[in-house]
Chain A
Amino acid sequence: MSHRNPPYDQYDAKHFARYHGWLPASKEFMQATDKETIKYFTLCAKEAIDVFMFEKEGLLARDDEGRLHDVVICENDETVVPEILSLVRPPLLEALIIGNLEDILTIGAALSNDVDDARSLEARKKQKNRDSFKQLEGYFPFDVVNFDTCGSLVSKPPGKNRLIKALERVFELQQLARAFLLLVTTPISGLNRKFENAFREGLSQNVKSYDEIGQALRTSKGSDVYDKIEIESRIALGFAKSVILPAAQKYGWNTLHRGIYVYDSPSGAHRMMSSVVRLSAASEADRGTHVQDIVQIIKRMPEYYSSKNPTQKAEVRKHLDEIIQYREKVRGMYTLSS
């Protein structure tokens, strides 16, 4: 039960994705959709840096009573819930969704009206997930969905991967929207063999079917053979091609990757990847645009963070410090002694 998440206040590498990816893409989305603020879903961890970043940058707003609007937070770790609740005080307009997002989203498909015995812990857990799903379902659709779970989207085989199912459910529940922005983060170390095979096969087919993909690969990556491409690049590409794209298409979404960011986990043991994808309701005219999306990924992505790059580090650290400072200022506004 010890705190499993890294202390995000010190995690510069993670902020690289926020600063260069999440923030500009969200601003761009807000402008493109002509909205004053965004409706945001996040699994923000106890530091809630993304929430305060968006608030500081004007993408989220507090009302006159100090309540932050249009933010829905889901947290699985109950030990962290009091920290988040204390951080976002006064209360958010929406309650926190407490529970495992995979469980909540997947139980939603099997909703039942059975009244279980409330004296049983298991029955209460099940009921809690049903209640949480109903609560979450009511908030959809969002403008920005931050699917930044603790788990890996690629370490378990596709058929048994509940996180992938949960992600698909997000695409399904977002169907009421015309467009949204997806921020999806996963460790990419420990790639499951089945995924790797799917990535390899998918790329090979693309190269055969679309000349522009093969051309882009040869120009930007030095080879159109999966195993000859640098590892992060081929996973970024495979993830977009074989995970995001089919799930999105299944629910009628067209994808456009705005950026893919690769950085180290705090311990340095894992490589992390955060993809920023703009989704819009697909139409007949959109047919074949996924090829352009893949070509863009090949040409421009991923971007890397290196703590050894002093300029990059200083830039990211400065922005992170500003957010932390802002967060503490907001926090202090709601105490009598301040």
Chain B
Amino acid sequence: MANIKPTRKGIIRVADVTIFQLSRGLYRSTATAFKELVSNAYDADATEVRIDTNFPKFNFISCVDDGKGMSLEAFLNYFSKNGIGSCTKRMGNKDKTDKFKRPIIGRLGIGMLAIGQLSHSFHIESHYTDEKSGERKAYHAKIILLDEMIPDREETIRSGKNKKDVGKWSYELIDYDETKKGFRIYTSDVRKTFADEMKSGAQYKNLDKMSFKLDKLHATFYDTSKKSIRECGPYLETIWELAILCPLPYYGSEEKFPVDVETFDDKEKGTIQFKRAISIVHKRQRGLLKECFRVVFDGIELRRHVQLPMIPEVLPKLYPLEFDEKVMEKRLRFSGYLFAQVAHHIRPAELNGIQIRLRNVGIAGYDSTFLKYYKQVETIRSKWVSGEIFIDEGLESALNIDRDSFNEHDEHFKGLQKYLHGELDSVFEEITKLAKEKSESIRDAHVEILNDSMQRAISTRTNGRLKLRRQPMGQDAPAVSVDLAKGVIILNTDCRLAKKKKANNIIQAIEIAYHAARTTDGSEESRHEFFLELVTEILDTIL
């Protein structure tokens, strides 16, 4: 401290070493690290990006795209002149890519180094056309990350030597190769942790059964016996997560994915809200298809695997989400949908919640807290809902550096949160009502079935001498009474023996069984036997 000149004001700076550390340990999962490489290809107007991991050894990673490449000037700017994080993609308010007019994802320029999280060193190769001269050029570069520097970080910062080397790079000019047009990043210096992670899990042990056909993979993900994609093991989980995060169309046909229109009844399909929500989803799908962007992972062409509902026997509901307002003087515009299924959990569990998609890229997976919706915290009903919000304008300032989470104190985030929670209020109100109605109708159906079967049993046992009748007799009258003269057992429908309807139905039915058994002829044992028969019937039907 003795060497620092005391001042009363100044500029806040970030040490180079900090930027580098951020770029190397920033990403939550393997898929989010790959997502960064895919995003760079998307921004480069690539039509295809291929990621390979040398399955099943996972000792090599390559990411090859056919985009416009990275010029040597940009490379030198990145690694030498201005440093990592000096992205120029959006310079001059440029917001769309040149060729396909895609919304530019890159903002800071740290995405390329996501591979640093998976490897110790890597190569890049770019075959591109120089924008100024129109000349075709190519270079190869090697980047070595100095791992031994990591434990020294704190010491470095404490010592004030901010400009500590954390890696080395070198490049050489090579011949342009048209077949390699674009940008490629590859490494065989893969971190052991990556290979070990990919190899773990049951799927790896059953490699001979593993299919690389997209339809079969989809069936694996949507196997009704699976609760979660995690059950597929880390390798398939990475594929699924990457697909969900990338700017890609949905898997399958428009009528089936992400929402299976056929599972909705005609009344629901005729509603304005359904039509609006479907139109939002389909418009997005068509837009993404037009972008001609493909991601191929270990030979599998990825698509977003969203299939709602997963099973047909649910009551599905679809709600549109639309917002276009100025928040803190800046426009916030988005659309999307909420899907609810009464009364089953969303499967796979990873689709439960809301996913925010900014510039067509998923910002993290599905947030099952619905941006911290406090009215439904881990309730059963909260597991019935899934949805996506596609941001068209705004919110970018809320995006954290990892592009995987939001600053919750950002005004746009607050605006989005408030709107979503308002919509969720109505959604949960409706699905709660629907669930209640559904549950009551199921209960009534059960009571009906029970009455019929008990009627049959009693009638058979008493040779038609006794019949069962339901009748309102006032709250003070007994729950069940027997009129032998008229040959009826009367169930007083006004009587409530338990607070819960289901419990009440069970108690009433047992009362009937008791009276029916009591009034039948025969020995004590045979009456007991009849009573047990009826109770078994009751429990089988109601429970």
- Is A105 at the interface (CB under 8 A from chain B)? no
- Is B210 at the interface (CB under 8 A from chain A)? yes
User: A67–B212 contact, CB under 8 A?
Assistant: yes
- Distance A1 CA – B213 CA, assembled complex (angstroms): 34
- Distance A1 CA – B175 CA, assembled complex (angstroms): 9
Residues of chain B within 8 A of A90, CB atoms compared: 212-213, 298-300
Residue interface mask A129-161, B partner, CB < 8 A = 1: 001000100000000000000000000000000
Among residues of A, the one whose C-beta sits closest to the C-beta of B52 is A85
User: B175–A82 contact, CB under 8 A?
Assistant: no
Contacts A1-B125, A79-B125, A121-B120 given; does A85 touch B300 at CB 8 Å = no
Residue interface mask B198-218, A partner, CB < 8 A = 1: 000000000110111110100
User: B214–A91 contact, CB under 8 A?
Assistant: no
Instruction: Identify the stretch in A20-28, A93-101, A209-217, A261-269 within 8 Å (CB) of chain B at 4 or more residues.
Output: A93-101
Contacts A2-B177, A91-B299 given; does A131 touch B50 at CB 8 Å = no
Partner of A81, one of B175, B186, B189, B294: B186
Partner of B186, one of A2, A3, A82, A93: A82
- Is A227 at the interface (CB under 8 A from chain B)? no
Residue interface mask B93-104, A partner, CB < 8 A = 1: 000000000000
- Distance A333 CA – B180 CA, assembled complex (angstroms): 22
Within residues 364 to 416 of chain B, which ones have a CB less than 8 A from any CB in chain A?
none
User: B120–A131 contact, CB under 8 A?
Assistant: no
User: B214–A78 contact, CB under 8 A?
Assistant: no
Nearest CB of chain B from residue A141's CB, rounded to whole Å: 20
Among residues of B, the one whose C-beta sits closest to the C-beta of A333 is B213
Nearest CB of chain A from residue B427's CB, rounded to whole Å: 34
Residues of chain B within 8 A of A98, CB atoms compared: 54, 59-60, 188
- Is A89 at the interface (CB under 8 A from chain B)? yes
Partner of A2, one of B174, B187, B207, B296: B174
Partner of A82, one of B62, B148, B207, B303: B62
User: B177–A3 contact, CB under 8 A?
Assistant: yes
Residues of chain A within 8 A of B189, CB atoms compared: 121, 124, 128
- Distance A131 CA – B56 CA, assembled complex (angstroms): 14
Nearest CB of chain A from residue B457's CB, rounded to whole Å: 54
- Distance A96 CA – B59 CA, assembled complex (angstroms): 9
Residues of chain A within 8 A of B212, CB atoms compared: 65-67, 89-91, 334
User: A89–B148 contact, CB under 8 A?
Assistant: no
Within residues 56 to 92 of chain A, which ones have a CB less than 8 A from any CB in chain B?
65-67, 78-79, 81-82, 85-86, 89-91
Residues of chain B within 8 A of A135, CB atoms compared: 57
User: A95–B55 contact, CB under 8 A?
Assistant: yes
Partner of A334, one of B52, B55, B188, B299: B299
Residues of chain B within 8 A of A78, CB atoms compared: 60, 123, 186-188
Within residues 14 to 54 of chain A, which ones have a CB less than 8 A from any CB in chain B?
none
Among residues of A, the one whose C-beta sits closest to the C-beta of B302 is A336
Residues of chain A within 8 A of B144, CB atoms compared: 121
Residue interface mask B204-236, A partner, CB < 8 A = 1: 000110111110100000000000000000000
How many residues in B have their beta carbons less than 8 Å from beta carbons of A? 46
Among residues of B, the one whose C-beta sits closest to the C-beta of A135 is B57
Residues of chain B within 8 A of A1, CB atoms compared: 123, 125, 140, 172, 174
User: A85–B301 contact, CB under 8 A?
Assistant: no
User: A85–B303 contact, CB under 8 A?
Assistant: no
Nearest CB of chain B from residue A74's CB, rounded to whole Å: 12
Contacts A2-B174, A78-B186 given; does A131 touch B125 at CB 8 Å = no
Residues of chain A within 8 A of B52, CB atoms compared: 81-82, 85-86
Among residues of A, the one whose C-beta sits closest to the C-beta of B214 is A336
Secondary structure type dominating chain A contacts = loop
- Distance A66 CA – B187 CA, assembled complex (angstroms): 26
Residues of chain B within 8 A of A89, CB atoms compared: 212, 296, 298-299
User: A91–B188 contact, CB under 8 A?
Assistant: no
Residues of chain B within 8 A of A95, CB atoms compared: 54-59
- Distance A98 CA – B188 CA, assembled complex (angstroms): 8
- Is B184 at the interface (CB under 8 A from chain A)? yes
Residue interface mask B60-90, A partner, CB < 8 A = 1: 1010100000000000000000000000000
Residues of chain B within 8 A of A208, CB atoms compared: none
- Is A311 at the interface (CB under 8 A from chain B)? no
User: B303–A91 contact, CB under 8 A?
Assistant: no
Residues of chain A within 8 A of B161, CB atoms compared: none
Partner of A124, one of B120, B207, B210, B303: B120
Residues of chain B within 8 A of A205, CB atoms compared: none
- Is B505 at the interface (CB under 8 A from chain A)? no
- Distance A89 CA – B174 CA, assembled complex (angstroms): 28
Considering residues B58, B60, B186, B211, which has the most beta carbons from chain A within 10 angstroms of its beta carbon? Answer: B60
Nearest CB of chain B from residue A290's CB, rounded to whole Å: 39
Within residues 232 to 265 of chain A, which ones have a CB less than 8 A from any CB in chain B?
none
Among residues of A, the one whose C-beta sits closest to the C-beta of B210 is A65
- Is A109 at the interface (CB under 8 A from chain B)? no
- Is B192 at the interface (CB under 8 A from chain A)? yes
Partner of B208, one of A82, A93, A119: A93
The 7 lowest CB-CB distance pairs between A and B, nearest first, are A89-B299, A90-B212, A95-B57, A82-B62, A90-B299, A1-B140, A85-B52
By a beta-carbon cutoff of 8 Å, the part of chain B in contact with chain A is 50, 52, 54-60, 62, 64, 120-121, 123, 125, 138, 140, 144, 147-148, 172, 174-175, 177, 180, 184, 186-189, 192, 207-208, 210-214, 216, 294, 296, 298-301, 303
Give 4 A-B pairs besides A85-B54, A334-B299 with Cβ atoms closer than 8 angstroms: A3-B180, A89-B296, A118-B120, A335-B301
By a beta-carbon cutoff of 8 Å, the part of chain A in contact with chain B is 1-3, 65-67, 78-79, 81-82, 85-86, 89-91, 93, 95-96, 98-99, 118-119, 121, 124, 128, 131, 135, 334-337
For this complex, 12 residue pairs linking A to B, each with C-beta atoms less than 8 Å apart, are A3-B175, A3-B180, A65-B212, A66-B213, A81-B60, A85-B54, A90-B300, A93-B208, A95-B55, A118-B192, A121-B121, A334-B301
